Structure 1
Amino acid sequence: MRSPTLAPVFFATIAVLALSGCTPAPAAPDPDELRAWQNDRSGLEEGPGVLGAMTGGAAPTDAAPTDAPPDQPHGTTMAFASDVDIDSVDVTCFGEARISVEVEFTGASSGRTVGGEGVPCADGTFTAENPLSGRTFTVRVDVYDADVETAWRAIVRGAEAG
């Protein structure tokens, strides 16, 4: 009598591991294409409802905002000299990277943060809706934990209070 072979168990295990979603990080972007995307400012500060724009870069070595000392916040902040009603912040990024994004809205008496992890750049725009009621004075955008080097843009949308 023959003993059962382990081959079916081995191949079943390999198939489960292959289908479990373990995908490699995308290839690093072409430096010239990345630089061209970063330098292309078309449409960043134009159009109805655009209050301003911010840009920056992200890499796998960037730490999460919670790792920063409280007196040294990460990210890029836009402060408004006059009161504005911010509706949302649209964040886009370059290439095939996946990023984590955090958008902090600060008003007269409170602040709230909206974010996402593993946001794919190839899918288009991550929109952070302003959760505050009333006027907003600052917006901070932090993009971190990219799986490959990338660049990002954030467009602040809303209206001047009046």
Structure 2
Amino acid sequence: MNHPPHKPPRIARALLWMASAALVLMMLVVVADVVMRAAFNMPLRGAYDAVGMLLLVMVAFGMGPVIARGGEIVVDLIDHVAGRRGVHALRAIAALMTAAVMLFFAWAALDPAWSAWLYGDHSLELGVPQWILWCVLYLGIIGILWAAAAQILSVLGGRPDAGDDRR
């Protein structure tokens, strides 16, 4: 696996730290719930809600840094045929498609997010307002869109991708 030759942008580091913290907290909640349930027959109240919320944070904030450093899983079936310029074009197309899909997700989430706000939906065990989770999702989408834009600018600027083996 190639690592970027430079320090990742501050935004990518912040997103990665939040995603990492969510993953660690999620693991701790699961372990605590299993131990409490097995040892004392007292499951951890709110573990189900907490794990779901932390999973949202991990996924939403974890995707942006991966895209920003070019760490996506890539199968180079046509790279040798397309040549260097073709690969750059494919990278730009992939970044544009990422942005398009994320914008579609954001658009598709508007109605359920608005409904959660309007009707005051809350999580079952902890009573956390659902609109907060939708805001977290939108913050993650903003991070992913930032990373996709950075990839597009990288390709247009002719800079090698962090994940490009042929630097």
- Which TM-score tier does this pair reach, normalised by the shorter chain? under 0.3
Q: TM-score, normalised by structure 2?
A: 0.19
Q: Which has the larger radius of gyration?
A: 1
Q: TM-score, normalised by structure 1?
A: 0.20
